[in-house]
A = this chain, B = another copy of it.
Amino acid sequence: VTDPTLHDVGEFAVVSRIQQRLGDVGAIVGPGDDAAVVSAADARVVVTTDMLVEGRHFRLDWSTPYDVGRKAAAQNLADIAAMGARSTALVVALGAPRDWPVSAVEALTDGLRDEAEVAGAVVVGGDLSGADAVVVAVTALGELDGRAPVLRSGARAGEIVVLAGVLGRAAAGLALLEADERTGPLVTALVDAHRRPHPPYAMGPALALAGATAMIDVSDGLLADLSHIAVASGVAIELDEDWPSEGDLGATRGAAQLLGVAALEWMATGGDDHALVATLPPGTPIPPGARRIGVVTRAPRGGVTAPGTAMSVAAGTGWEHFA
């Protein structure tokens, strides 16, 4: 059995294979030239970039290259949604060792393409380079369709805080992998949530249309990301006593018992599910797919409190990459 490497096949031939897998993406100019050209119908483009590094953001013994492609795309597509926008296109810079199989690059490409499709976007270009570890840097572009972008800074005291998407499942899955617990349907579902998050992309524009005054995707953890909104808006946020959803608690409680930890902590501090949290003026009908989890208050500015638990955040803290 032969599984040719990047070195065996060579850069130009690998790039050609990647382009074949992407197919006709329907962009104004797609992959294969110096740059791509993408529609930006309302004369503005939303843009974000995020890098995933092997050994830091993923392990290739825990995630397949296909999973890594899905996750790298999801993380960026969620950032576009958090502006109230819909994603249109991705470009991807991939660094990989010369002895990496071409089939792995193809699988990673498939993952990027498939996750982009979930959000209604296409992969329009990229760059392939040598590197000692696998590094995937994705840039996502999006359209606001004439709406104003929803920033972190628009929350006002008296508004409500709403959540779309799941919390704590990816963190539970990662904890299970770290503890070498991999058996049973419960474990599989949570580990899959770590490998391939499912951000609620369509809820970004839906919450914007509903009147969201501030929005963020949960990438550092619910409390930390709410704190980003609180700091940027000069407000405080107080979670309702019943903010944890029964669904998320139910999914993670078994794993928490197995590992002897608190499921609630995964939900409050786990980041990789890429849920969306937004603030809405009081009395605004909450769109289907979102639910209320708290209120915006005046003080202490930048703080986030979760009554009934010992957890709180003083100001913009969360996952630190260099800790």
Contact = CB atoms under 8 A, between A and B. Distances in A.
Interface of A: 5-7, 9-12, 14, 28-29, 32-53, 55-57, 79-80, 82-83, 85, 89, 91-95, 98, 124-133, 135, 137, 139-142, 144, 149, 151-153, 215-217, 232, 316-323
Nearest to A56: B130
A217 B34 contact: yes
27 contacts: A10-B320, A11-B321, A12-B316, A12-B318, A33-B152, A34-B82, A35-B47, A35-B48, A35-B80, A35-B83, A35-B142, A39-B44, A39-B45, A41-B43, A47-B124, A48-B125, A49-B92, A49-B125, A49-B127, A50-B93, A51-B127, A51-B129, A53-B129, A57-B129, A127-B137, A129-B321, A133-B133
Contacts of A151: 29, 33
A4 to B, nearest CB: 11
A203 to B, nearest CB: 14
| Complex copy number for this chain | 2
A95 to B, nearest CB: 5
A93 to B, nearest CB: 4
Contacts of A7: 322-323
Contact of A321 (B44, B48, B130): B130
Given A34-B217, A35-B83, A321-B129, A40 B51 contact: no
B56 A131 contact: yes
B322 A37 contact: no
Max chain B Cβ within 10 angstroms of own Cβ: one of A42, A93, A144, A319: A93
Given A129-B321, A133-B132, A93 B149 contact: no
A36 B46 CA distance: 6
B124 A11 contact: no
A11 B95 contact: no
A109 to B, nearest CB: 14
Nearest to A142: B35
Nearest to A225: B34
A108 to B, nearest CB: 14
A39 B47 CA distance: 11
A83 B46 CA distance: 21
Given A10-B323, A41-B43, A53-B135, 7 more contacts: A32-B152, A35-B82, A37-B46, A37-B149, A57-B129, A91-B139, A139-B139
Given A56-B129, A135-B131, A95 B51 contact: yes
A183 B223 CA distance: 56
Contacts of A126: 49
Contact of A48 (B11, B36, B57, B137): B36
Contacts of A232: 32-33
A298 B51 CA distance: 44
Given A10-B320, A82-B34, A322-B10, A43 B40 contact: yes
A116 to B, nearest CB: 14
